[in-house]
Amino acid sequence: MDTQRVLQMLLRAVGGVSALAIVPVFMPRAWMAMCHEWLGLGPLPEGPIVEYLARSTSMFYAIFGGVLLLLSGDVRRHARVIMAVGGAILACGAVLLTIDLRSGLPTWWIGVEGPFVMAMGLVNLVLAAKVWAKAGGALG
């Protein structure tokens, strides 16, 4: 399978999963509380900022997923943007790892979220750079 196709599939997989974050934007608060407890995080704290952050973060992920899906339509044409997005995702993963460690999240969460996001960003960056170079782009 060629690099372009792998990158396209990766963007569509991550974009599709991220776009599903639209559901928590509109789900009842009781469902959020149930998910919070199911994840082993205890009762969902009360207060408007908790709901605001949960819903607005979910909306951001859903929008980001839509952007990835759009970029996946022509990875060769959008390779430079995908490289930038890959770098941003890589940096975001490092920040998430730091936040997770400081926030006292469960070990399984810390071991999965930041490292996974960093790996996704790195793979995005490397594949997009290969597509860009193959298309005749200069990487310097």
pLDDT digits (tens, 9 = 90+) for 43-56: 999 999 999 999 99
* Assigned token pair, 100: 């997770």
Is residue 55 in some structural domain? yes
Is residue 140 in some structural domain? no
Is residue 70 in some structural domain? yes
Residue with structure tokens 């009842």?
Answer: 28
Is residue 139 in some structural domain? no
Q: Above 60 in pLDDT, residue 59?
A: yes
Higher per-residue pLDDT: 1 or 69:
69
pLDDT (tens digit, 9 = 90+) per residue, 60-111?
Answer: 999 999 999 999 999 999 999 999 999 999 999 999 999 999 998 999 999 9
Q: Above 90 in pLDDT, residue 1?
A: no
Distance CA 62, CA 17 (A): 9
Based on the structure, what is the number of domains in the chain?
A: 1
pLDDT (tens digit, 9 = 90+) per residue, 113-140?
Answer: 999 999 999 999 999 999 999 888 755 4
Is residue 110 a contact partner of residue 100, using CB atoms and an 8 Å limit? Answer: yes
DSSP single-letter state for residue 45: P
Is residue 66 in some structural domain? yes
* Assigned token pair, 116: 């996974």
Residue 36 CA: distances (Å) to CA of 50, 62, 63, 80: 12, 19, 22, 38
* Residue 55 structural domain: 3-134
Is residue 139 a contact partner of residue 129, using CB atoms and an 8 Å limit? Answer: yes
